[in-house]
Amino acid sequence: TMQEAPLHVVIVPTPGIGHLIPLIEFAKRLVYHHSFAVTFIIPNDGSPMKLPKQLFSSLPETIYSLFLPPVSFVDLSEDVKIETRIILSLTRSLHLLRDSFKVLAQSKRVVAFVVDIFGTDAFDIAKEFGVQPYLFIATNVMGLSLIFELPKLDQMFSCEYRDLPEPIKLPGCVPLSGSDVPDPLQHRQDFAYRQTLEICKKYPSAAGIIVNSFMELENDAFEALMEVGRGLPAVYPVGPLTKSVSSSEIEGCKDCLRWLDEQPSGSVLYVCFGSGGTLSHEQINELAVGLELSGQRFLWVVKNPVDKAANAAYFDSEETGKEPLAFLPDGFLERTKDIGLVVPNWASQVQVLSHGSTGGFLSHCGWNSVLESIVHGVPLIAWPLYAEQKMNAAMLKDGLKVALRVQHNEDGVVGRQDIANYAKELIEGDEGQLLRKRN
Ligand code: UDP
């Protein structure tokens, strides 16, 4: 009967592997520790959704997934910001989302509706059926503080945030330089800015806010947030929720784990820019030469170069038929075969970071990567690309002091000699030692 059926939570993730991975881990906790059932209703951004579907393929049977039909973006220009696409994936799916939710709300004991950082436009659907709406923040408390400050900052300043003469002081957080303010907020005339601002204004109407961070990591930011006395919803730091690795993923990464087994303890620099990060041809070349110059061992997960954007792989595109790795400098693979392993596209990152041979992580600072690195005590070289990654990098370097941070030349490229120096310093140098101890 209805009374005996498990309590049910509905989760709506907006596009992005970095949103989906922690939400799935969260769902597993609800199922394993609290006997809930969970249904994911997934807006479809029109990409093949290969990886999302794979992530759902090996879950407990009380986690259901319902993929909505793809929305159309034919009216959008090529250069719209990813945040615009993320937001529109949801808003253009709202009617279908409502239909699916209605069926669930009328047939299951649905007690909570959870959306992520860009999902507040779906709150009204939950409210219509008398269900409490919650937010799940797949980034940190600092990011949440910024969200709550944003309406005020928007009133206080009229210039672009990167032109502010002084850093922004978020309560309990390291000073945030204007140029490190997240991407979608850097162009105040853009649709993505105005939409994000509107979305942020709805945060206080959540029944509660779940954050993938933890007190030991962000105690001051958390306490300051709770102190402010603005009548904010309760905030629950439930982290670190990090990705658990499926057996098929380990199988797919067998060669790279075997290679790691053969390397000395703490000697390998792992290089990866997350699920969506891409580099230009020139920057890939510079990174390859820099790694070679450093003389350090490395495991590099590399995606095809893209010259126009740093997040070109965000919406999972079909693999191009190009010869893999042909873009690397001539002879690079041969010259580095004794110290380096290059893996195209994807590695089982959690396995790599938990391996004893891994001594450092050159990372784009996506929050999941940051947590995975911290959980395994691996110090970082922070090389942020987009979204809120620059803010995370500032927190890692200036606040937690567990990372070096790359500098770009005037032409916007991180130079080969600098890369070599960072790699050497992190793996062999005194500063690397210090960072490792703090981690
Ligand atoms: N990931 C992985 N292998 C890869 C790239 C990414 O397993 O080659 C996983 C990584 O462990 C993390 C997630 O994908 O859990 C990426 O999330 P993150 O927040 O770091 O970055 P995003 O992809 O959202 O930019």
Ligand 1 centroid, distance to 103 Cα (angstroms): 33
70 strand-pairing partners: 44
Atom 21 in ligand 1: residue holding the nearest Cα: 366
The answer to whether the CB of 16 is under 6 A from ligand 1 is yes
Q: Examine the pLDDT at 2 and tell me if it is beyond 70.
A: no
The answer to whether the CB of 301 is under 6 A from ligand 1 is yes
What's the predicted TM-score (pTM) here? 0.96
Q: Examine the pLDDT at 3 and tell me if it is beyond 70.
A: no
236 strand-pairing partners: 210
Q: Is the peptide bond before 204 cis (omega within 30 degrees of 0)?
A: no
Which residues fall within 8 angstroms of residue 278, CB to CB, at 6 or more apart? 303, 304, 305, 306, 309, 310, 311, 312, 313
Ligand 1 centroid, distance to 368 Cα (angstroms): 6
Best residue among 349, 354, 373, 388 to mutate for probing ligand 1, ranked by most atoms within 8 Å of CB: 349
How would residue 311 be classed by pLDDT, with cut points 50, 70 and 90? confident
Q: How far apart are CA 165 and CA 162, in angstroms?
A: 8
Quote the pLDDT of residue 120. 95
Atom 6 in ligand 1: residue holding the nearest Cα: 274
Quote the pLDDT of residue 287. 98
| Residue spans of beta strands (DSSP E) within 20-127 | 37-44, 63-70, 109-116
Q: Examine the pLDDT at 318 and tell me if it is beyond 80.
A: no
Report phi then psi at 418, rounded to 5.
Answer: -60, -45
Mean pLDDT value across residues 120-134: 97
Residue-averaged pLDDT of the chain: 94
Quote the pLDDT of residue 14. 96
Ligand 1 centroid, distance to 274 Cα (angstroms): 4
Select from 126, 73, 139 the least CA-distant residue to 100: 126
The answer to whether the CB of 347 is under 6 A from ligand 1 is yes
Ligand 1 centroid, distance to 26 Cα (angstroms): 16
Q: How far apart are CA 149 and CA 197, in angstroms?
A: 10
Mean pLDDT value across residues 7-29: 97
Structure tokens at 63: 């986690």
pLDDT digits (tens, 9 = 90+) for 190-247: 999 999 999 989 999 999 999 999 999 999 999 998 886 667 899 999 999 999 888 8
ipTM summary value: 1.00
Catalytic residue annotation: 19, 116
Residue-level length of the chain: 439
The answer to whether the CB of 369 is under 6 A from ligand 1 is yes
pLDDT digits (tens, 9 = 90+) for 136-158: 999 999 999 999 999 999 999 99
pLDDT digits (tens, 9 = 90+) for 278-308: 999 999 999 999 999 999 999 999 999 998 8
Mean pLDDT value across residues 364-374: 98
Structure tokens at 399: 């606040």
Quote the pLDDT of residue 175. 98
39 strand-pairing partners: 10, 64
Q: How far apart are CA 40 and CA 360, in angstroms?
A: 35
Q: How far apart are CA 311 and CA 270, in angstroms?
A: 20
Letter for the amino acid at 333? L
Quote the pLDDT of residue 323. 65
Which residues fall within 8 angstroms of residue 180, CB to CB, at 6 or more apart? 390, 391, 393, 394
The answer to whether the CB of 384 is under 6 A from ligand 1 is no
Q: What distance separates the 2 farthest-apart alpha carbons in the chain?
A: 68
Q: How far apart are CA 172 and CA 215, in angstroms?
A: 12
The answer to whether the CB of 243 is under 6 A from ligand 1 is yes
Q: Which atom of ligand 1 is nearest to the CA of 245?
A: 7
Mean pLDDT value across residues 164-171: 96
Which residues fall within 8 angstroms of residue 162, CB to CB, at 6 or more apart? 178, 179, 181, 186
Atom 17 in ligand 1: residue holding the nearest Cα: 18
Q: Examine the pLDDT at 321 and tell me if it is beyond 60.
A: no
Quote the pLDDT of residue 101. 98
Q: How far apart are CA 184 and CA 196, in angstroms?
A: 8
Ligand 1 centroid, distance to 369 Cα (angstroms): 6
The answer to whether the CB of 366 is under 6 A from ligand 1 is yes
How would residue 322 be classed by pLDDT, with cut points 50, 70 and 90? low
Quote the pLDDT of residue 431. 87
